[in-house]
Amino acid sequence: MSPIPEDCPSVARVDPFIGCEPADLPPPEGIAATWWCAKPPIGNTHPGASLPFGMVSAGAYSGAYISGYGRYGLSLDGGPPPRIFEELGAEGIAHFQQSGTGRIRMYYNYLLTTPLGEEGMDGRHLRRSLVNERAWPGYYAGRFEESGVDFELAAMARGVRHRYRFPAGRTPQVVVDVSSGGLRIEGMEVYPQGAELHIEDDGSVRGTVVMEGIPVSFRCRCAGARAFLWEDLEILDGERRYDLTLEKQKFRPEFGFGFTGGEGGAIELVFGFSLRSDERAVEGMDGAPSRPTMEPSGEDFETVVRKGTERWERALGRIEVEGGSEAQRQVFTTALYHSLLKPADFRDENPFTARPGPFFLDLSTLWDLYKTHLPLVTSLWPERAVEFVEFLCEVAEREGGFPVSYLMDNVPDRFTKQATGLCHAILEDARMRGVETDWDRVLSLLWMTSQSGKGRRSRFAEYSRTHCVDPLSHTLDIAYAHFCMARMARSVGHQLIHDRATALSVHWVEAFDEKTGLLRQDSTYYEGENWNYSFRLLHDMQARIDLAGGSSKFVGLLDKFFGFLEPRHGERVFRFEGLNNEPDMEAPFAYLYAGRHDRTARVVRRVMDGCFAPGRGGLPGNDDSGGLSSWFVWNAIGLFPVCAQPVMLIGSPIFDRAVIHLPGGDFEVVARGNSRQAIYVREARLNGEVIDRAWLKINEFQEGGKLELEMSEEPGDFAVRNLPPSFPA
């Protein structure tokens, strides 16, 4: 198997297996012992090969929930996930996987590729023990134990390379199941809606399979081997074309292609993919359409591995850290790696239009990503954010509304119960962070899709009429969306939208019970309770605190929520979810608006110390496409973004020094006297000047600078008076 290049230290520190198994974390202590789990405590990650924001991933496939990798079945509550396979095994290698999500009804895992054992075609669905696994960003390898076949995978921009080594004396044979998709769990499998395969004169195979309404075109080459087609258990000798006709679909046959032969007991496959055309799939193999023989481009397997590893090293090098333990550095770098897997960049691959341009998929959990993940990507790669903004606008123009998720299917408007109006915050956050585009056009689309077209039948219209919608968390979403539109309108000089949006931004108060200072209980809450949604960072936090009865009472509510205070007799309190789930992921920073940075420090340090760890069980819950991991990235360096607000909050870093390489200049965070006990900030300096505040202006961060924090084991009066800004109407 290939070695990690010595000049890629960040890549070497990543452990792609973190989060693949149920949580195996330190026993909860102190306040953490009172936190609860709304969802199964497992990261649902996988170790497959992919590039940063890669279009394609490839990994071992057992058919387990949720990425196709592993041993576990469907689980939706806070208990441990059920084990459906006793041993870690795999049927083969599948392509396109989700990253750390929950049940999203889209599981991909297309073109299942299986090196056959002595059983031949009869062994296509045998689940063989998976051993000798090894992975780093862009590369994944292992062995199918019973068949004795070693495999290696290397990711490319729009394709994947496979390498298989067979036992001595056995003729290499690999089959690709084009009919396979989804999971090996009832109700989660997928069958094609159409397909066609062709063996070309040069021996490569091209084809298109329609899955979930999306045409996935591919080209596959295997030098030195003979291609064949098959259906069910029969090899179709002499056939060079296969069509999944409407008549055949009634019987749901298994079908695909394969290769046999090869030199020295080894065989290599090169896949290229496209959602648009066979020609682009050819390009995905690093070949060229003008090269009729489909010969390789001159890059061998090791060169592809090297290029992918170097690409990951550059991406992971955007943030450098010093200090902390080796385990913390590994967890941090892996968290950054998980944060850069999604969204998947399918540029020029939009299957709904012939126009070239940005196109992204696997926005599976946008309600999590908008808080931490997308601000991270936008800060580090504003050029990618420009493309993301254009993509969202294209979706809105084509579908009549902005998405709350976007997957590889033809069904918009999924998951409307989770959240709404998310793109309003995402787009305003991008504008605020300096992304350059036609913001007047963006604003017009936001306003139009909120008030007309689909907007007339949406919760936005209901909110405009009644100022309150159910679930009440959506009332907060829509009020915040109007705040975002008002800010954008002010920046582009659109007075009418500014005034109307501002007037509608204040009705978040309708969702709260003034008697309790919390969200009303007469509502449904997704994967949480009213307490978990009650401490979101709203645009007017001062008014929110006043509604609770002032700072003292607001802190009292937070203290009950995080476990610092016990409830009164008969009082029912739903505690912090400890990042097992993300509705309350920003809640620790609500303390800052009441002058209690010390409380924020205690909570975020307890989360980082107790809810993240090395090893397969190192995550407290679903990673949600990097939403959870990016929370750790921000907090480990001592900062936290407030999406769509021009502030960066200061927390309690675990590293002595962190350097974030931003386009506007490096931003450095130095924590002097830092330790597991010294979690409190005694004094802060920004560019050499003392600042008695636990927040930065967005330009103070974006333009680069140096934040120095003097740490202490005892809380002091840091940031008690100079509170983060509120943005009243």
Q: Is the pLDDT of residue 89 over 70?
A: yes
Average pLDDT of span 41-70: 97
Q: Is the pLDDT of residue 297 over 60?
A: no
Determine which of 449-458, 600-609, 678-687 has the lowest per-residue pLDDT on average: 449-458
Model-wide pTM > 0.85: yes
CA distances from 245 to 58, 190, 248 (A): 28, 17, 5
Instruction: Specify the long-range contacts of residues 121-125, CB closer than 8 Å, at least 24 apart.
Output: 121/175, 121/230, 121/233, 121/235, 122/233, 123/147, 124/91, 124/175, 124/177, 124/254, 125/91
pLDDT of residue 287: 43
Q: Is the pLDDT of residue 295 over 80?
A: no
Helices (H) and strands (E) in the chain, counts: 19, 31
Q: Is the pLDDT of residue 292 over 70?
A: no
For the domain spanning 47-298, the CATH number is 2.70.98.10
pLDDT of residue 304: 95
Q: Is the pLDDT of residue 291 over 80?
A: no
Q: Is the pLDDT of residue 242 over 60?
A: yes
- Fold agreement between 47-298 and 314-712: no
d(Cα 244, Cα 197) in Å, to the nearest integer? Answer: 9
pLDDT of residue 293: 37
What is the CA 539 to chain-centroid distance, rounded?
Answer: 25
Split at pLDDT 50, 70, 90, the class of 453 is low
pLDDT of residue 144: 98
Q: Is the pLDDT of residue 486 over 80?
A: yes
For the chain, what percent of residues have pLDDT higher than 70? 97
Determine which of 159-163, 296-300, 412-416 has the lowest per-residue pLDDT on average: 296-300
Mean residue pLDDT of the chain comes to 94
d(Cα 20, Cα 429) in Å, to the nearest integer? Answer: 32
pLDDT of residue 614: 98
The pLDDT tens digits for 620-673 are: 999 999 999 999 999 999 999 999 999 999 999 999 999 999 999 999 999 999
Decide: 645 and 371 in contact? Cβ < 8 Å.
no
* In the block, residue with structure tokens 């009919």: 179
In 3D space, the residue among 649, 643, 660, 642 whose CA is nearest the CA of residue 703 turns out to be 660
For the domain spanning 314-712, the CATH number is 3.30.2080.10
The pLDDT tens digits for 521-577 are: 999 998 899 999 999 999 999 999 999 999 999 999 999 999 999 999 989 999 999
Element containing residue 136 per DSSP (H, E): strand 128-136
Decide: 520 and 526 in contact? Cβ < 8 Å.
no
Q: Is the pLDDT of residue 459 over 80?
A: yes
Q: Which residues of 550-579 are buried (b: 16+ CB within 10 A; e: fewer)?
A: ebeebbbbbbbbbbbeeeeeeeebbbbbbb
pLDDT of residue 52: 98
The domains of the chain are located at 47-298, 314-712
Split at pLDDT 50, 70, 90, the class of 410 is confident
Tokens at 470, concatenated: 């159910």
